[in-house]
Amino acid sequence: MALHIETPLLESRPLSLASGRSVWLKMDVLQPPGSFKIRGVGAACEHHAKNGKRRFVSSSGGNAGIAVAYAGRRLSIPVSVFVPETASDRAKSLIRQEGAEVFVHGASWQEANERALEAIDAESAFIHPFDDPLLWNGHASIVDEVVKAGISFDAVVLSVGGGGLLAGVAEGLTRNGLEKTPIIAVETEGAASLAASVKAGKLTELPAITSIATSLGARKVCERAFEIAQAGPVDCVTVTDRDAVDACVRFLDDHRVVVEPACGAALAVAYAHADRLTRYERILMVVCGGATAPVAQLQAWQAS
């Protein structure tokens, strides 16, 4: 049995009214570890477990690490997660709650990732948070489930951090004959590495992450995500941190579900930037989730 669950697909009356479009929500916030990450992470961990690996090592600012820790517990394989100094206490607590070891290193994910790679030995598998075909294949199941449910859509809205979700959804669209479906790729200002790369015409690294949406905090997207953005119908949209936080709070009121700003960025397109949706009639929005921003944190951000 897969480590992820098939998540609900809901028509959102509030987001449909806000955007003037029919909006369908793929509720991956309801995955057991709290985000879509378990789809790809679970697939990768199961692959490595079958191939005899006896330890998982990962680097993550939060949700990927939680997913690896969850997968390791389910598979009875020990896990070490390397997080940057920017990782929240809540993220570290949720990783430890699944029984994994947490190591804090470096000011950014890149530095934590370098230390994680140094910790690999012959019996360990490295579980990358976003740049791995095993992950993309797992994330593609989002589209498989929507197609199986018989719901048609003419655009997909999703958040972009390192680009793993974008790569997975693109793969899912292709394998279901929907490769011409536009993807609206949303980032927050201060974490918009995909938009910067598309604008520059080459893979570009941000000097730093200045957004509160730390789950989107990859200074450079994976090469596959950049290729997809260049080759396919991908529309890069950037929203403010305020847009993302306000969207989280509105979504909590509208759907009684807490998501973090990395997910709120995508929701903000319907709530605050509906002009980017005027060409479409039925929108599939990936509610990617995120377990690292409790309600009190959202309220503090909104008040600041």
| pLDDT, tens digit (0-9, with 9 covering 90-100), for 167-196 | 999 999 999 999 999 999 999 998 899 999
Residues 6+ apart with CB under 8 A from 9: 24, 25, 26, 27, 145, 146, 149, 151
pLDDT at 235: 95
Whether 182 and 196 have beta carbons less than 8 Å apart is answered as no
For residue 304, pLDDT over 90 is answered with no
The architecture of the domain spanning 9-36+134-303 is 3-Layer(aba) Sandwich (3.40)
Q: Give the model's confidence band at 219: pLDDT under 50 very low, under 70 low, under 90 confident, else very high.
A: confident
Give the model confidence (pLDDT) of 84-138 as tens digits: 888 889 999 999 999 999 999 998 888 899 999 999 999 999 999 999 999 999 9
Domain ranges of the chain: 9-36+134-303, 38-129
Give the model confidence (pLDDT) of 223-239 as tens digits: 999 999 999 899 999 99
pLDDT at 256: 97
The reply to whether CATH 3.40.50.1100 applies to domain 38-129 is yes
For residue 260, pLDDT over 80 is answered with yes
CA dist 141 → 39, 131, 248 (Å): 7, 17, 25
pLDDT at 216: 67
Q: What percent of the chain has pLDDT over 70?
A: 99
Give the model confidence (pLDDT) of 47-69 as tens digits: 999 999 999 999 987 899 999 99
Interatomic CA distance for residues 252 and 183, integer angstroms: 25
pLDDT at 61: 73
CA dist 25 → 160, 249, 281 (Å): 17, 16, 14
- Partnered with residue 234 across adjacent β-strands are 183
Interatomic CA distance for residues 237 and 251, integer angstroms: 19
Query: Position 82: which residue type?
Result: F
Residues 6+ apart with CB under 8 A from 160: 166, 185, 186, 187, 194, 216, 221, 225
Candidates 153, 127, 167, 158; CA nearest to 42 is 127
- Torsional class of 57: left (φ above 0), alpha (ψ -120 to 50), beta (otherwise): beta
Interatomic CA distance for residues 18 and 45, integer angstroms: 39
Q: Give the model's confidence band at 214: pLDDT under 50 very low, under 70 low, under 90 confident, else very high.
A: confident
Whether 58 and 68 have beta carbons less than 8 Å apart is answered as yes
- pTM summary value: 0.96
The answer to whether the 9-36+134-303 and 38-129 domains have the same CATH topology is: yes
Q: What does the mean pLDDT of the chain come to?
A: 95
